[in-house]
Amino acid sequence: MSIADSIIKSVQEKESYEERIGLLQKEIQTIYLTQYEETLALARYGYTLTNSRNDSINKGDFLRSIGGAYQKLGFIDSVSIYFFKALKLLEPTKDSEKLGLLYDDMARLYRKLEQPKRALEFYDRALELYEKENDLEGIARINNESGAVYSDNGDYKIANERFEKSLRIQIQRNDSVGIGYSLEFLGYNQLQIRNYQRAESYLMQALKVRKNVGDEFAIMLNYTALGEYYKEINKALTSNEYFEKSNSLARKINFLDIQAYNHRQLMENYEVLGDYKAAYENLNAYNILNDSLYNTQKIRDVEEITAKYETAEKENEILQQRAKIAESELRLKKRSQWIFGLLGLALIVGLLGFLFYRQQVFINERQKRDGELKLAMEKIESHTKLQEQRLSISRDLHDNIGAQLSFVISTIDTLTFHVQGTNDKVLTGLANLGTFTKETMQELRDTVWAMNKSDITIQDLQARMANFVEKAKHAYPGRHIAIQVAATVPSTLGFTALEGLNIFRILQEALNNALKHAGAQAMLVRIEKEENAVLFEISDDGKGFLENEVEPGNGLYNMRKRAKELGGEFHLESRPGQGTRIVFQLEEKKDSK
């Protein structure tokens, strides 16, 4: 019996509705940080219990828990749906406890999607509720989490003020868990401003508190923060020890995100240490964990295709049944006509003409139905075969070419290790070849991503861009990249797979140019809807250039070519010392979702 089944059984034994709801919420609170599938099952069960009652508060809270579990499992698109359903139920109730937790969760979601303005908006709502109720725990928690948003955006002074305020409240409350989080936030903030002595002090204090509490999830986060600290001060071996400790706990509680992040840091440390075999092993572990998210998406895409196919099959059965009914009606009418013919020989000539006319009408109608049925079946078969071919090609690309590229990268790393110190030109050539091969593999993954989809929505693009931005931040520490999607842009606004890939390539190329060539520190991607068009804008604070004074490269040519293929307009504005702004606009299709 699973944990969820055992808890549900205990809940069912309670006599009153209030006791059942209370026990269920208490158990969810106990496991939601480490056991996401069980949390999802319990929250769904709680939602069914509230359906029989006019209980908007608890119904909204269970919807919040469902969204939170989906977020931990990586289904970001589902999270916002459940959060906004919960918001619709909870806001009219004015329940400060449940509504404050929902505002907090929604702020965390937007922080994960790198939308700081929206994140701070929901944090401010939560803080206003908690201050009105003088809820010290809530005030301390929101100061910690909103401080992290300010820290992410480089406003370390405000971040530090919020973390210190949270720490004072938690010490006043004697809340060891809260004290641990405040100390960790303070330590990480000091690490960002390179105050290494204070950073180490705060992080070590946090670890001591958390070990006393025995909170494995918090200890895991602390180990990762210490790994980053020792990596920053060039103590790679000590850094690796803490990343490994964090991974040990992350595997225990099945927290994939932190495992992937730790393997990435371990890879970079081993490269510094010259242990390329260990670096490659950690890179491979990172790719496997990272690609598991894509495997999840593929499963969901297959389920969607199956659902569409089953719907088409049902429509086909309905058409066949209608054709059989029409044939039965025709046979009955023929019999009736013969009976009437025998009753009056005088009407035979007139009736024969009438019967011939009616027969032709029915035959024509039947042929028309048969033709429509045949056309529908051909369309279904064609769509199914096309989708199968796309899936087959994408699998071949991923399994065959992807594996070959991985082998090439491994071979380059091995050659680099063996020729080190012998020939700088060879080493430079191998490094360039390795970089090119890794970029090719990433482009292959992007192509496979697009091929696995029948259409690509703004939400899909946003998630893919978020993944790219995360990798870019690791490659270029200290750079700030933000993605803003205007509220006027529907999340389900769709493009074909080819259109979606072209849009992603333009955005990717523009950001790569800003990072690699312009030396930009801050980049912003904005997506807006203007009347019947969708506007994409990429701006940076890099060194800029005059387009007519530089040698045209493949990057600009490819962006213009892709925009032209999309049927859109492409504009580039740049001045030396004033950064670069790229805008392209696409007309919205009438059949877009």
Two tokens, residue 175:
């809340």
Helix, strand, coil % in the chain, rounded to nearest 5: 75, 5, 15
pLDDT-derived band at 226 (thresholds 50, 70, 90) equals very high
Q: Which CATH architecture has domain 94-214?
A: Alpha Horseshoe (1.25)
CA-nearest of 268, 304, 309, 306 to 286 is: 268
Matching CATH topology for 94-214 and 216-294? yes
Average pLDDT of the segment spanning 244-254: 90
- CA distances for 62 relative to 16, 49, 79, 119, 155, angstroms: 18, 10, 13, 22, 35
Q: What SS3 class is residue 515?
A: helix
Query: Can you give the pLDDT at residue 164?
Result: 93
Two tokens, residue 217:
């999830």
Query: Can you give the pLDDT at residue 309?
Result: 33
pLDDT more than 70, % of the chain? 75
Query: Can you give the pLDDT at residue 367?
Result: 80
At the fourth CATH level, the homologous superfamily of domain 454-592 is Histidine kinase-like ATPase, C-terminal domain (3.30.565.10)
pLDDT reading at 384 higher than 90: no
Query: Can you give the pLDDT at residue 381?
Result: 65
Q: What SS3 class is residue 532?
A: coil
Average pLDDT of the segment spanning 198-205: 93
pLDDT reading at 438 higher than 80: no
Give the domain ranges of the chain.
Answer: 1-89, 94-214, 216-294, 402-452, 454-592
Query: Can you give the pLDDT at residue 335?
Result: 67
Query: Can you give the pLDDT at residue 311?
Result: 44
Give the Cα separation of 134 and 536 in Å (integer). 44
Give the Cα separation of 153 and 142 in Å (integer). 17
Give the Cα separation of 558 and 330 in Å (integer). 62
pLDDT reading at 497 higher than 50: yes
pLDDT per position as a tens digit, 283-315:
998 888 876 644 444 334 333 333 343 344 345
Query: Can you give the pLDDT at residue 294?
Result: 41
Average pLDDT of the segment spanning 371-391: 63
Specify whether the CB–CB gap between 227 and 265 falls below 8 A.
yes
pLDDT per position as a tens digit, 415-430:
666 666 666 767 677 6
Give every CB contact of residue 186 below 8 A, 6+ residues apart in sequence.
Answer: 160, 163, 164, 167, 202
154: left (phi over 0), alpha (psi -120 to 50) or beta: left
Considering all CA atoms of the chain, what is the largest pairwise distance in Å, rounded to the nearest integer? 116
Q: In this predicted model, which residue has the larger pLDDT, 364 or 326?
A: 364
pLDDT more than 90, % of the chain? 32
Average pLDDT of the segment spanning 333-351: 65
pLDDT per position as a tens digit, 253-263:
888 888 989 99
- Write b or e for each residue in 289-327: b if 16 or more Cβ atoms lie within 10 A of its Cβ, otherwise e: bbeebeeebbeeeeeebeeeeeebeeeeeebeeeeeeee
Q: Where are the alpha helices (DSSP H) in 153-235?
A: 156-173, 176-192, 196-213, 216-232
Give every CB contact of residue 214 below 8 A, 6+ residues apart in sequence.
Answer: none
Query: Can you give the pLDDT at residue 299?
Result: 36
Give the Cα separation of 41 and 49 in Å (integer). 13
pLDDT per position as a tens digit, 124-169:
999 999 999 899 999 999 999 999 899 888 899 999 999 999 999 9
Is the pTM higher than 0.75?
Answer: no
At the fourth CATH level, the homologous superfamily of domain 216-294 is Tetratricopeptide repeat domain (1.25.40.10)
Q: In this predicted model, which residue has the larger pLDDT, 270 or 568?
A: 270
pLDDT reading at 592 higher than 50: no
Query: Can you give the pLDDT at residue 342?
Result: 62
